[in-house]
Structure 1
Amino acid sequence: MKKSLPKYFRRFLLACAILLALFGLSRLYFRLTDDFRLSNITYKMPYRQAWEVPEMSEAQRENFNEILNQKFYYVGKGAQSYAFKSEDDKYILKFFKFKHLKPSFFVDLLPSVGAFKIYKEKQVERKNRLLNSVFDGYRLAYAIHGDETGLIYIHLNKSHELNKVVTVHDKIGLVRHIDLDEVPFILQEKAKTTRTVMTELMNNQDISMVQKRIKQIFDLYLLEYSKGIYDRDHGVMHNTGFVGDKPIHLDVGKLTEDDRIKSKEFYKPDLLRIVSKFNIWFKANYPQDYPTLKAFMDEQMQLIFEDERV
């Protein structure tokens, strides 16, 4: 006769099975929803005057309300935000992912004593620096680079005057109503990423238009340098794009102000990093056309930097 497992061991196995099931369900939830919920797009943070924006004109307010009267549908998530597209497919509404911009729940649980206190303070300081950097980047872009970033409106402090509730459909189709006075958000023109644009053009073998788009991106960066701003994120293929014929910078959370970048001495290495990103992408994806496109970009650099050796 077989001996049954001890009761305590059966309980242990049952507990393990329950924990594994709960872990599996939580992972499934995150996969299905991308963990989009109100608590992840809100954060109790101090008011900062530097994040305020000018009051909208009557025409701007009318356009703002008209856009946000539409329903918005989940597109995806990035490192810093969740994105929803408008019903007419012309606009993007972004909500910040405070899950990555504020100290984690586990850090909050740590006692404020000894080494725990030091670690906790460092984590809080690091997250605050990150949040301030991202918000400062958007505020800077909205102030001096709005058209070139497609920004229609930014809302970084809590407010009372918007009086607007937007309807969004999350990843699994659940309808949510969000009071925009209560949450930071970005309203932006919807663009195709440079990667998407280049892929479509290259697949159609429209090399002349590819060259035009490359030059437009170079001109966009040169305009930014002339304003004393630059993007610390050099991911040109996903971080820039086009609204129709207009090139724009999509994610400006790492936009930085520094007057030194107005000088060729400082912006040359930055622009060459953008050229390098293009070179890597074209060589990997369209090796047969890469020599032609590389020659074109080299020529553009010679024109920009005159007779300097690039």
Structure 2
Amino acid sequence: MKKYLGILFSLLFLFGCERPKGFTLKKITSNYEPSEKWEVTPTLSEETLLKILDQPYIYLGSGNHTYAFESFDGKFVIKFFKQKHMRIQTPFLSQAKIEKRKNEREESFNSYIIAYTHLKEETGLLFLHLNKTNHLGISLKLIDQHGTSTEINLDEMEFLIQKRASLAFDYLGTLIEHGAYGDALIGIRSLLNVVAKRNQMGIYDKDLQFFKNFGFINGQAVEIDIGEYKIGVDVPNTYEELLRLSYQISEFVGEKAPALVSVVESEMNEIISQYKPKNLA
């Protein structure tokens, strides 16, 4: 049976029936029932939420776990989860595959709960909607990567809303290119401090990548990819995690402004040394 299914799928690909690439509405639609463990208490007023969502959202890009859309006014980002990684109501899935997808959904949603509960300011997270509901009553206009408009009922979707951040790579790069070295150093200190604060809370991010997972909002560093947090696990000590980040920052500065590397490394070492374990002193 498996042999014939394989032949059938191969023929479908050959004759142009392959899955569409990039964002589609189907890829963010789920069939999961609501669960009490994914409920959170909103901190935004209904009026504020309606104002944030009373505008079109334009396709921005995709990450490991989500498709992101930017608000027309450029102030917010709404992210919808890639359900293909979590969908279990699919024919011919093995039990092992079903369990893997359940675990992936569990880990991702737990991460969003951690961010919402402990790291709102550090992630720019404003609103979290992990269960289908019937009280929002909001239809949102999305404009996809092809410029096509789609109206979606947000009650039926799982999503999150964050403040729009400038990627750390772009933000610091622009400051360095314009000779604003003092502001760049402030930004780098902010990056290290936001990671140190999270680490000291016992929260681990296994995907610590400066180039794509950090941003800046009004000069303050934030972590914008929030799908890999874990709590209650063995967390690398703060010193080790900051060292990992500092190597990435040094490499970046070396490419942008080699003459600035020694100054940046001196600034970073001043912060990192505060967390150096006594047995390494």
Q: State whether TM-score is above 0.5.
A: yes
For residue 194 of structure 2, the aligned residue among 214, 220, 226 is 220
Q: 2: CA distance between counterparts of 1:182 and 1:239?
A: 28
| 2:275 pairs with 1:290 | no
The equivalences for 1:274-285 within 5 A come to: 274-285=245-256
Partner of 2:83, secondary structure, is: coil
User: How many equivalent residue pairs?
Assistant: 272
| 2:15 pairs with 1:41 | no
For residue 137 of structure 1, the aligned residue among 111, 126, 144 is 111
Greater shift in the superposed pair: 85-94 or 293-302: 293-302
Q: 1: CA distance between counterparts of 2:92 and 2:274?
A: 57
CA contact (8 A) 1:302 1:308 kept: no
1:97–1:306 CA distance, 2 compared to 1 (3 A):
closer
The equivalences for 1:163-242 within 5 A come to: 163-242=137-216
Partner of 2:204, secondary structure, is: strand
The equivalences for 1:22-61 within 5 A come to: 22=16, 30=21, 34=22, 36-55=23-42, 60-61=45-46
Residue 71 of structure 1 and its aligned partner are, at CA, apart by 0.9
State the Cα deviation string for residues 96-155 of structure 1 (Å, max 9, x = none).
1112333595xx325xxxxxxxxx111111111111111111111111211221111010
For residue 126 of structure 1, the aligned residue among 86, 100, 103 is 100
**What's the counterpart of residue 4 of structure 2?**
none
**What's the counterpart of residue 241 of structure 2?**
270
Residue 232 of structure 1 and its aligned partner are, at CA, apart by 1.4
Greater shift in the superposed pair: 217-226 or 148-157: 217-226
CA contact (8 A) 1:195 1:237 kept: yes
- Give me the identity figure in percent: 26
1:19–1:259 CA distance, 2 compared to 1 (3 A):
closer
Q: 1: CA distance between counterparts of 2:13 and 2:203?
A: 50
Q: 2: CA distance between counterparts of 1:52 and 1:70?
A: 26
**What's the counterpart of residue 85 of structure 1?**
70
CA contact (8 A) 2:108 2:228 kept: yes
1:46–1:239 CA distance, 2 compared to 1 (3 A):
same
For residue 246 of structure 1, the aligned residue among 220, 223, 227 is 220
Q: Which has the larger radius of gyration?
A: 1
In the superposition, the TM-score normalised over structure 1's length comes to 0.79
Partner of 1:99, secondary structure, is: helix
Residue 75 of structure 1 and its aligned partner are, at CA, apart by 1.0
| 2:271 pairs with 1:300 | yes
**What's the counterpart of residue 72 of structure 1?**
57
Residue 307 of structure 1 and its aligned partner are, at CA, apart by 7.5
CA contact (8 A) 1:137 1:253 kept: yes
Partner of 1:22, secondary structure, is: coil
Q: Please give the root-mean-square deviation of Cα atoms over the aligned residues, in Å.
A: 2.6
CA contact (8 A) 2:85 2:104 kept: no
Residue 180 of structure 1 and its aligned partner are, at CA, apart by 0.6
Amino acid in structure 1 at the alignment position of 2:241? D
Partner of 1:73, secondary structure, is: strand
Amino acid in structure 1 at the alignment position of 2:59? Y
Amino acid in structure 1 at the alignment position of 2:49? F
The equivalences for 1:3-22 within 5 A come to: 22=16
Q: 2: CA distance between counterparts of 1:307 and 1:179?
A: 55
Q: 1: CA distance between counterparts of 2:13 and 2:28?
A: 28
Residue 183 of structure 1 and its aligned partner are, at CA, apart by 0.8
State the Cα deviation string for residues 265-296 of structure 1 (Å, max 9, x = none).
82222222111221233334443432332232
Partner of 2:230, secondary structure, is: strand
In the superposition, the TM-score normalised over structure 2's length comes to 0.87
State the Cα deviation string for residues 56-105 of structure 1 (Å, max 9, x = none).
56xx1110001101111111111211111111100001111112333595
Amino acid in structure 1 at the alignment position of 2:164? K
Partner of 1:289, secondary structure, is: helix
Unaligned segments of structure 2, at least 5 residues: 1-9
Amino acid in structure 2 at the alignment position of 1:77? S
CA contact (8 A) 1:230 1:255 kept: yes
